[in-house]
C-alpha cells in the first residue's frame, strides 16, 4: 500500500471523531479538505450527527407540569434566607441559618417527591439510561480504530455498523415506520447461535434515523435487524431486513 492510499484510509477513521467535534484544529482542517472530495464521508458524517442530536433529545426529560406549581406554592409559604454567606468568625451562630436552608431544601424535595412520585423517578432513570447508551455509542464513534460497514435495508433506508474492537454501533437511516405493535430488534449471529442485542424503536418512532450499541462482537459475526412484536422475541420470527458482517 503506497503512502497516498495509507493516508486516505487513515482519514476515513476520523469520521466518528469529526461528527463529535473531537478533532484538533489541524485534524479538522485535513478532514474537511477530504470531505470536500468524498461524498461517502459527507453522508456518513451527516448520519452520525443526526444520531447525536437524537440522543440528546432522548436525554431531555421535562418535569411534570404540576411540579413547578407545587414547588412555587411551597416556597411562597416557607421563610426564605436572603443571605447564607457567614463570616468565618461567626461560624457558631451560623447553625440556625444553615438549619433553615436545609429545611427549605427538604420542603422542596418533599413536594417534588410527593407531586412527581413514580413519574419523576421514571424520568430520572430514563435520562440516566439514555446517557449511558449515549456514552457507549460515543466511545465507539470516537475510537480512531473504528471501521464502518453499510448495507441497504429491505423496505427502504440503509444501515451502518461502526465497529471498534469488540464493540459496535448499529445506525439506521431513513428507515420505514412500523405498525404500532411491531419493533425493530437487533441480533448477533455467530455460527448457529443467535443472541438478542436489544430492541430498536417501535411503531411510528422507528421511522428515520436511530442508533443502538452492540457489545461483545467478534470479527466474522453478523449483526442483523428483524421486525418483531412489541417487547421483542427470544429468537427472530421474521427474515432480517438487514445483516452486516463485523
What domains, with CATH codes, occur in the chain?
1-59 (1.10.10.1320), 65-138 (no CATH), 145-246 (2.60.40)
Q: Give the mean pLDDT of the chain.
A: 74
Q: End-to-end distance of the chain based on CA atoms, in angstroms?
A: 23
Band of residue 22 on the pLDDT scale cut at 50, 70, 90: low
Helix/strand/coil for 80: coil
Q: What is the pLDDT of residue 79?
A: 53
pTM of the entire structure?
0.55
CB 81 within 8 A of CB 57: no
92: Cβ contacts below 8 Å, ≥ 6 apart: none
Do the strands 167-175 and 158-164 form a parallel or antiparallel pair, or are they unpaired?
antiparallel
* Residue corresponding to grid cell 455460527: 191
Taking only the tens place, the pLDDT of each residue in 143-187 is 889 999 999 999 899 999 999 999 999 998 888 899 999 999 999
Q: What is the pLDDT of residue 242?
A: 95
CB 192 within 8 A of CB 241: no
108: Cβ contacts below 8 Å, ≥ 6 apart: 71, 74, 75
Max CA distance (Å), the chain: 76
155 burial via Cβ count (<10 Å: 0-12, 13-18, 19+): exposed
C-alpha to C-alpha distance for 80 and 102, rounded to whole angstroms:
11
88: Cβ contacts below 8 Å, ≥ 6 apart: none
Q: C-alpha angle 68/71/72, rounded to 5°? A: 85
Task: Using a pLDDT cut of 90, give the percent of the chain over it.
Answer: 34
C-alpha to C-alpha distance for 54 and 200, rounded to whole angstroms:
13
Burial code (b: 16+ CB inside 10 Å, e: under 16) for 109-121 equals eebbeebbeeebe
Where helices occur in 60-86 by DSSP H, the ranges are 65-76
* Residue corresponding to grid cell 468568625: 89
Band of residue 40 on the pLDDT scale cut at 50, 70, 90: confident
Amino acid at each position: 500500500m503506497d503512502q497516498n492510499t495509507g493516508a486516505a484510509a487513515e482519514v476515513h477513521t476520523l469520521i466518528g471523531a469529526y461528527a463529535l467535534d473531537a478533532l484538533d484544529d489541524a485534524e479538522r482542517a485535513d478532514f474537511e479538505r477530504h470531505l470536500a472530495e468524498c461524498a461517502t464521508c459527507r453522508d456518513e458524517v451527516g448520519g452520525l450527527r443526526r444520531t447525536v442530536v437524537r440522543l440528546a433529545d432522548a436525554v431531555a426529560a421535562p418535569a411534570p407540569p404540576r411540579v413547578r406549581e407545587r414547588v412555587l406554592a411551597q416556597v411562597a409559604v416557607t421563610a426564605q434566607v436572603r443571605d447564607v454567606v457567614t463570616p468565618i468568625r461567626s461560624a457558631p451562630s451560623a447553625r440556625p441559618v444553615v438549619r433553615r436552608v436545609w429545611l427549605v431544601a427538604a420542603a422542596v424535595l418533599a413536594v417534588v417527591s410527593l407531586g412527581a412520585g413514580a413519574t419523576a423517578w421514571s424520568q430520572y432513570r430514563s435520562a440516566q439510561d439514555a446517557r449511558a447508551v449515549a456514552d457507549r455509542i460515543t466511545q465507539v464513534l470516537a475510537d480512531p480504530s473504528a471501521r464502518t460497514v453499510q448495507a441497504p435495508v429491505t423496505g427502504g433506508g440503509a444501515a451502518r455498523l461502526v465497529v471498534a474492537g469488540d464493540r459496535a454501533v448499529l445506525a439506521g437511516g431513513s428507515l420505514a415506520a412500523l405498525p404500532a405493535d411491531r419493533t425493530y430488534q437487533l441480533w448477533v449471529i455467530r455460527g448457529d447461535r443467535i443472541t438478542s442485542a436489544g430492541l430498536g424503536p417501535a411503531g411510528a418512532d422507528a421511522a428515520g434515523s436511530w442508533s443502538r450499541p452492540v457489545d461483545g462482537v467478534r470479527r466474522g459475526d453478523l449483526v442483523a435487524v428483524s421486525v418483531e412484536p412489541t417487547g421483542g422475541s427470544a429468537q427472530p420470527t421474521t427474515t432480517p431486513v438487514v445483516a452486516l458482517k463485523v
